Structure 1
Amino acid sequence: MKETMRSVQRILAVFESFSIDRTSLMLQEIADRISLPKSTAFRIVQSLEKAGYLVRLEDQQYCLSFQLTRLAGHVRSTLGIREISRPVLLQLADRTRETASLHTLSGSHRICIDAVATVAAPLRMVAQPGEQVPMVAGAGSKVLMAFMPPEKLSAMVVEVARLTKRARAEIEKELQQIRDQGFAVSHGERLLGISAISAPIRDAEDQVRYCISVGAPTVRMRINEHEIVRSILIAAADISRQFGAATVDMQDEIRFLAKDTGTITHRISD
């Protein structure tokens, strides 16, 4: 079973080694990108070429074939972020034993799209689908702000600075830190005694239009903060991958961003 899973991971890694900037690659480049010996990469690439999923060009570079376009046409047109994220939210709620939720941005408000809590607790954070909150505080709002396109972010920072009486430079510094570490943590910013951790969800265009969050009473969050950060980074990467983000890039990002919290990631090896 492990050998089969490893073979599948390697095949997917070959597909994902291609990018918009590099639509064709030499064999050695593919091997380098998936961290495999050239001989092992050659066997995988040769099999994919024979199956019609890769094309070898005249200059000995490889590119993806139209077989993948054909398969992409079978993807359900109605498959949306809520449908993709729901199973991951359930797993995250189970793992953290807290409330997991999905959010997006609409104008100057953050909207809760979905929320689940699988474990009954006498004290827990409650998030309601459809709930709208101003983009002035909280981990989810900060994540959505941090990854906004620069032209939209500037106006939002001005508005948040006006409403919160904070300096623009202070807000911009905080948002840069969130971009650098890949997640946000807030304690009692919106509701006293309630904390949240949020991480961005990327799409096929590497844009962040959604974020995933875990909310909990501050007393429990502070005890389990590092573990929840690990769990939410993995969950955000899982949703992002299914939403079209580049898997290899996401794995590298988790490995880099979550190293201080001890996240365990799987590296493809020979």
Structure 2
Amino acid sequence: MATELQTSVGRALAVLDSFRAGDRSLSLAELAERTGYYKSTILRLAQSLQRANYLVRLESGRYQLGAALIRLGEISKRSTRIDDHVLPVLQKLVEATGESATLYVRKGDQRFCLRRVDSQRALRDHVREGDLLPLTIGAPGRVFLYFDSGVEQSGLARGEVPVEYRTNPSRPLPIVTHGEYEPELASIACGIFGPQDELVGVICLTGLDSRFGRKAAQAMGDVLLEACQRLTTLVGGDLHHYAPRKALARRASSTG
């Protein structure tokens, strides 16, 4: 009985997952094609989903997502915060890379260290939770400048932001800098995006510049990119800002 219930739930979720961005409605044939299920199976599942208002059948016979999903989406959006998920992610980043991992959020014209996990290395940067740092230098600052249009609107003097650093949401991620904040330090940063496509935070790996050579930067960038994609998914964001792996590899190689 339990196995049968799990199978039914899984199939019902597959029907709902068939809907993609831009779909106003789907026909029975389209649902069958996308799920691989028989039409008779979809009809049975659709009836159950309709009763719970997860699916609506139009007069034309096509199907739309129901209002119950909107309600659940709103509950999820209000209850899910990046801070609920980030600490284990930072800890895993430190374990995987050996470098310090920090979550920054924007606070006015500065970046605020919200969460921090230190590297166990003797030689590292020293940032503490609660510290405020400039937006105009370092990899995390650049991510805010490129992807948060509110930075310039908040009153940050235009003369303080070089033209090439101003809002550019097509900029590939992650971003690597060498010696911008301190001559001996390098950093790799990547953004986390929310359900309204807003930049909700930036995760940064920082350490001695000598440890951020081409191959090391590539490896750390891959791990960081995966972590930020996972967090973006958890908070309901879209992954379209993240560059393909091949593009990341070329960028990391060019910055070492």
- CA apart distance, 1:96: 1.7
What TM-score results when the alignment is normalised by the length of structure 1?
Answer: 0.71
- CA apart distance, 1:51: 4.0
What SS is found at the alignment partner of 1:181? coil
Runs of 4+ in 1 over 3 A off after TM superposition: 7-19, 21-31, 41-48, 69-79, 150-157, 168-172
Name the counterpart of 1:146: 146
Aligned sequence identity (%): 22
Name the counterpart of 2:132: 132
- CA apart distance, 1:225: 0.4
Gaps of 5+ in 2: 1-5, 250-256
- CA apart distance, 1:49: 2.5
Whether 1:81 and 2:82 are equivalent positions in the alignment is yes
Q: Which amino acid aligns with 1:181?
A: P
Q: What are the superposed Cα offsets for residues 16-45 of structure 1, whole Å, 9 maximum, x if unpaired?
A: 8444x54434567778xxxxx546166796
Q: What are the superposed Cα offsets for residues 182-217 of structure 1, whole Å, 9 maximum, x if unpaired?
A: 221111100121111111111011111311111121
- CA apart distance, 1:153: 5.8
- CA apart distance, 1:237: 1.0
Matches of 1:153 and 1:27, distance apart in 2: 48
Whether 1:49 and 2:46 are equivalent positions in the alignment is yes
Whether 1:15 and 2:2 are equivalent positions in the alignment is no
Contact map agreement 2:15 2:35 (CA 8 A) in 1: no
Contact map agreement 1:88 1:238 (CA 8 A) in 2: no
Judged with a 3 Å threshold, the aligned counterparts in structure 2 of structure 1 residues 213 and 30 are, in CA distance, closer, same or farther, namely: farther
- CA apart distance, 1:125: 2.8
**Paired residues, number:** 237
Q: 2:231 aligns with which of 232, 239, 247?
A: 239
- Spell out the pairing of 1:156-235 with structure 2 (5 A cutoff): 156=156, 158-161=158-161, 168-172=162-166, 176=168, 179-222=170-213, 223-235=215-227
- CA apart distance, 1:261: 3.9
Matches of 1:46 and 1:159, distance apart in 2: 62
What TM-score results when the alignment is normalised by the length of structure 2?
Answer: 0.75
What SS is found at the alignment partner of 2:225? helix
- CA apart distance, 1:64: 1.9
RMSD over aligned Cα atoms: 3.7
Q: What are the superposed Cα offsets for residues 136-168 of structure 1, whole Å, 9 maximum, x if unpaired?
A: 10010110110122783696471424xxxxxx4
